[in-house]
Structure 1
Amino acid sequence: MIRPYRQEDADALWELKQGFELGLAEGTGDDAKATRYADKLDDQYRHSYLDWVDRCRTDESRAIQVAERRDSVVGYVFVLPDTMAHIWDGAVLNELYVAPAIRGTGVGVELLEAAVRTARAQDLPLDRILLDVDRANDRARTFYDHHGFEHWGEMLARDLSAPEDI
């Protein structure tokens, strides 16, 4: 069952969020990348993330939806509220994560369908839903390709702790 996130889901969401963050570095970077992602997952980050979740839910009740199986939260999808649609001129699928033991059972598809329904109901500059997927994340790229997503642009990043010279 897919349903909107509730406050009592916070611990389960945080556990899944940690899996999401740690999974970003699996097979897509070196040990330094994995360490950066792991190091940020402290109590301060947990509180700021869950506060942000609550702010997004205030703007859009279905911004965060969870998948439940046998009374346990096993996955989630996070679509940014349409108040943030100008970031990429469309709906932003910020996160989709399914617990590894549940993958391949259709939960990811159900969460993606929920995300698309949420996005279709939003007031968007352009009718599209976008997400960022690491080009080395073959599993995610295959999943999204299979569901009609196409390559669109490329995201670049600069480490802000680097020297200020440009």
Structure 2
Amino acid sequence: MNVRPYSATDAEGLWELKRGFELGIGEGTGDEGKGPKYEAKLTDDYRERWLAWVDDCVAENDDCVTVAVDDDGSVVGYAFVLPASLAFVWDAAVLNEVFVAPDYRGTGVADELMAAALDAARDMDLPLDRMVLDVDRENDRAQAFYDRYGFEHWGEMVARDL
């Protein structure tokens, strides 16, 4: 396994994992409409815009997106820490996403990605020395993972349709 900074050649693999992340958001959490809402947004336009945003973030900080690549060259996991220019949203480093392909869960890949994400955040000039993330309270696997790294509940996000 090779854990390294993202490059443009990883775009297709990263996108496939992003789709898995988005579709997984609706699995087993929330009401019946949650999954279809996330699936409906995954259009070609969304893909192009999201990958362009990733490129912009990486242009600002080449360590903000880390990928795990298997021996066959497939991207099997990623961690995405928002660049420091966006730290003022929460006055902290923001762990935007961590995702590992199902076949690689429980292998230590997520731990390597988290270590890279924490290193990237430590290198940032932040208003406060902390990392925040949004995790569904019903996602027990993610909760256990973040608990192992010392994350604690800090406030709660609420949302409404526009």
Shared fold (TM-score greater than 0.5)? yes
Identity of aligned pairs, percent? 59
User: Which residue among 100, 112, 137 is the counterpart of 1:135?
Assistant: 137
Paired position in structure 2 for 1:152: 154
What is the correspondence of 1:103-142 to structure 2 with a 5 Å cutoff?
A: 103-142=105-144
**Shift of residue 146 of structure 1?**
1.2
Distance across 2 between alignment mates of 1:147 and 1:90: 16
**Shift of residue 6 of structure 1?**
0.7
Stretches (4+) displaced over 2 A = none
Distance across 2 between alignment mates of 1:94 and 1:45: 17
Paired position in structure 2 for 1:25: 26
For residue 123 of structure 1, give the secondary structure of its aligned residue in structure 2: coil
**Shift of residue 86 of structure 1?**
0.4
Paired position in structure 2 for 1:69: 70
TM-score, structure 1 length as denominator?
A: 0.95
Paired position in structure 2 for 1:53: 54
For residue 97 of structure 1, give the secondary structure of its aligned residue in structure 2: strand
For residue 28 of structure 1, give the secondary structure of its aligned residue in structure 2: coil
For residue 35 of structure 1, give the secondary structure of its aligned residue in structure 2: helix
Distance across 2 between alignment mates of 1:24 and 1:113: 23
What is the correspondence of 1:34-53 to structure 2 with a 5 Å cutoff?
A: 34-53=35-54
User: Which residue among 101, 104, 112 is the counterpart of 1:102?
Assistant: 104
Distance across 1 between alignment mates of 2:151 and 2:53: 27
Unmatched tracts of structure 2, length 5 or more: none
Distance across 1 between alignment mates of 2:14 and 2:32: 25
For residue 85 of structure 1, give the secondary structure of its aligned residue in structure 2: helix
**Shift of residue 30 of structure 1?**
2.2
The number of residues matched between the two structures is 160
